[in-house]
Amino acid sequence: MRILVVEDEKRLASFIKKGFEEQSYAVDIAGDGKEAEFLAHTNDYDLILLDILLPKQDGWKTCENLRNGGIEIPIIMLTALGEVSSRIRGLDNGADDYITKPFEFDELLARVRAHLRRSHSTMNLVMEVSNLKLDTRTRKVERGSDEVQLTNKEFALLEYLILNKNKIVTRTMITEHVWDIHFDAGSNVIDVIVNYLRKKIEIPGEPKLIHTIRGAGYMLKDE
């Protein structure tokens, strides 16, 4: 999952980015409302965290413009403004939720997971393909009775493949949802991570799950 964090407080933005990256999310940062609009229309995000008090263009106007521009992904507003009128204005401008600063990161993480589940019809707390299980809360992965230890990027890639099971997933699609804006799309990192993931989840005698579709990408099949 890839998130756009729109926050001009650099320390807070860095804290949020680090926290979500530790949970296997890819994160981009925008420091003002105009930059947020540009990035949201340039990249394929799964969710946006949007501060209200921003330089150049506030969060209310940014949210309104994103919705008017066809951006339909979940938007959670981050606000130091506790007044009910401020929260209502954000929701009326197209936000799906809000969280008031200061906040507990675990609560923010739970809200993000909840909105991602609503926006992805195949995403559950525990996702299963054949005898492979992935728990989105605990980040625990099991194949049969064996627990599989994955890196953050391997977990993110597997989650994305499961969300798109039985569909061809191109390298471009993987880049847009598993890596942030600084990823070098010309490298062979995706192929390397796929191979690492295969070695960890494939079991002799069990159905092969990750398939290479020559000239197209990859597919995780529910045998």
pTM of the complete model? 0.82
- CATH 1.10.10.10: which residues of the chain? 126-220
Give the whole-angstrom CA distance, residue 15 versus residue 17: 6
Which pair of tokens denotes residue 97? 């939720």
Angle at 220 between CA 181 and CA 143, to 5 degrees: 105
Give the tens place of pLDDT for each residue, 15-42: 999 999 999 999 999 999 999 999 999 9
Which pair of tokens denotes residue 81? 């403004």
Which pair of tokens denotes residue 133? 């299980």
Site of tokens 């064996």: 146
Report H helices in 78-213: 84-92, 105-119, 152-163, 171-178, 189-201
Site of tokens 């330089």: 55
Give pLDDT, residue 203: 82
Q: The CATH number of 2-119 is which of 3.40.50.2300, 2.170.190.11, 2.40.128.630, 3.40.50.460? A: 3.40.50.2300
- CATH 3.40.50.2300: which residues of the chain? 2-119
CATH topology of domain 126-220: Arc Repressor Mutant, subunit A (1.10.10)
Give the whole-angstrom CA distance, residue 61 versus residue 223: 47
pLDDT over 70 at 82, yes or no: no
Give pLDDT, residue 174: 92
- Return the number of other C-beta atoms located less than 10 Å from residue 48's C-beta: 25
Name the residue with higher pLDDT: 105 or 92: 105
pLDDT band at 121 (very low <50, low <70, confident <90, very high): low
Q: List the helix and strand counts (H, then E) for the chain.
A: 8, 11
Give the tens place of pLDDT for each residue, 44-61: 999 999 999 999 999 999
Give the whole-angstrom CA distance, residue 81 versus residue 166: 45
Mean pLDDT computed over every residue of the chain: 90
